Amino acid sequence: MRESFAGFYNKRRVFVTGHTGFKGAWLCLWLKMLGAEVCGYSFDIPTNPSCFSLANVADGIVSINGDIRNYELLEKSIQDFKPDIVIHMAAQSLVRRSFENPVDTFSTNVMGTVHLLDVVRTIESVRAVVNVTSDKCYENQEWLWGYRENDPMGGYDPYSSSKGCSELVSSAYLRSFFNPGHYEQHRVALASARAGNVIGGGDFAEDRLIPDVFRAFSNGDSVHIRSPHAIRPWQHVLEPLAGYLLLAQRLYIEGPRFIGGWNFGPHDESVLEVGQVVKQFAGCWGDDVQWTMDDGNHPHEAALLKLDCSKARTLLGWTPCLNVNQALEWSAIWYKTFRDHSDELQVLSLDQIRQYEGLMI
């Protein structure tokens, strides 16, 4: 998998929406390392502090401040940059916030996808598009086995539903405008990518487990954990990003063979209860920390959610490289560096990417 990146992204033009977010910042750092020319499009920096600012991600890229729902600005930005590849990550990404503001969640996650794909179909330079959604796009039956790419879309809460809708939008545009039967005419290969809960240094979002735990530990507070028995697939942020990069590359080179939905999740041993993850992160942090756990009344979130990633392993050659313990260790190192030596975070982030590349088969 490492060798497959070599040279491909050098001087390739990649347009990334949501580039100031947690995953977007890491993706742009990696693309720059690979020699890509990167243009990012995001509506402000979502948190303060942020990985984007601390790791100086803006250095060496084109960075546009724009709302994904602003069709005219989005169209002009993509037309001016003339990308080869588009990776769409702009989203309202928090479940609990979707209960507070469902209209914003649906308009960003659904109409934002519509705007992006509608613009792309008019841009001749674009050859590959990856729409990043979520494992929560599936109609969750609380199954013990993982969801496969052909399982029904759904979603209990506004966030999950919006990601299921984004998948349906992708499917409609794929069949209506990027139909593989007419690939020679349109020359755009479209796929969607679905990943589980990602962890890693630089996530400062509210109501997300590791950032909440980090803030409490740093302040010497006892962290309050909701739904400690909920089971989630945990993976380091670089795991799905490797999948997105590999998928975009194969879409560009081989086109219709790699269109459609793709799951990128961890090995089964990294599918753990929330409470277990908190205890393991506390061990990585190393200080005397305390936490309390509560199964009280909270907005609905799935109790069990797993992905079957057989398709990505078999057809893309993608496989996870880090177990959950390693992911938590790398995260703790990043956050401790932020606490003690914040001027070293770009160097550390690039070093973690290099370490990850060294693990890729």
For the chain, domains (ranges, CATH) are 13-359 (3.40.50.720)
pLDDT of residue 201: 97
DSSP string computed for 278-316: HHHHHHHH-S---EEEE--S-S---SB--B--HHIIIII
pLDDT of residue 2: 47
pLDDT of residue 36: 97
- How far is residue 72's CA from residue 69's CA, in Å, rounded to a whole number? 9
Strand 62-65 to 37-42 pairing: parallel
- 255 half-sphere exposure, CB direction, 13 A CA radius: 14
- How far is residue 343's CA from residue 345's CA, in Å, rounded to a whole number? 6
Q: Which residues contact 242 (CB under 8 A, 6 or more apart)?
A: 1, 318, 321, 356, 360
DSSP string computed for 170-195: HHHHHHHTS-GGGHHHH--EEEEEEE
Residue 34 contacts residue 5 (beta carbons within 8 Å): yes
Q: Which residues contact 104 (CB under 8 A, 6 or more apart)?
A: 92
Q: Per-residue confidence of the chain (361 residues) as pLDDT tens digits?
A: 545 577 999 999 999 999 999 999 999 999 999 999 999 999 999 999 999 999 999 999 999 999 999 999 999 999 999 999 999 999 998 888 999 999 999 999 999 999 999 999 999 999 999 999 999 999 988 787 899 999 999 988 999 999 999 999 999 999 999 988 776 666 899 999 999 889 999 999 988 899 999 998 888 887 778 778 888 889 999 999 999 999 999 999 999 999 999 999 999 888 888 889 988 998 898 866 666 766 555 555 555 788 999 999 999 999 999 999 999 999 999 999 999 999 999 999 999 999 999 999 6
pLDDT of residue 210: 93
- How far is residue 190's CA from residue 129's CA, in Å, rounded to a whole number? 5
pLDDT of residue 293: 67
- 274 half-sphere exposure, CB direction, 13 A CA radius: 24
- How far is residue 131's CA from residue 125's CA, in Å, rounded to a whole number? 17
Q: Give the SS3 label for residue 2.
A: helix
Could you give phi then psi for residue 182, rounded to 5 degrees?
Answer: -120, 30
Entry pTM? 0.94
- How far is residue 205's CA from residue 96's CA, in Å, rounded to a whole number? 12
pLDDT of residue 288: 64
- How far is residue 334's CA from residue 328's CA, in Å, rounded to a whole number? 10
Torsion of CA 248, 249, 251, 252, to 10 degrees: 110
Which of 126, 151, 174 is CA-nearest to residue 13?
126
pLDDT of residue 73: 98
Residue 240 contacts residue 195 (beta carbons within 8 Å): yes
Residue 102 contacts residue 215 (beta carbons within 8 Å): no
| DSSP-H helix ranges across the chain | 2-5, 22-33, 51-54, 71-81, 95-100, 102-106, 112-120, 158-176, 183-186, 209-219, 238-254, 274-285, 310-311, 324-340, 345-359
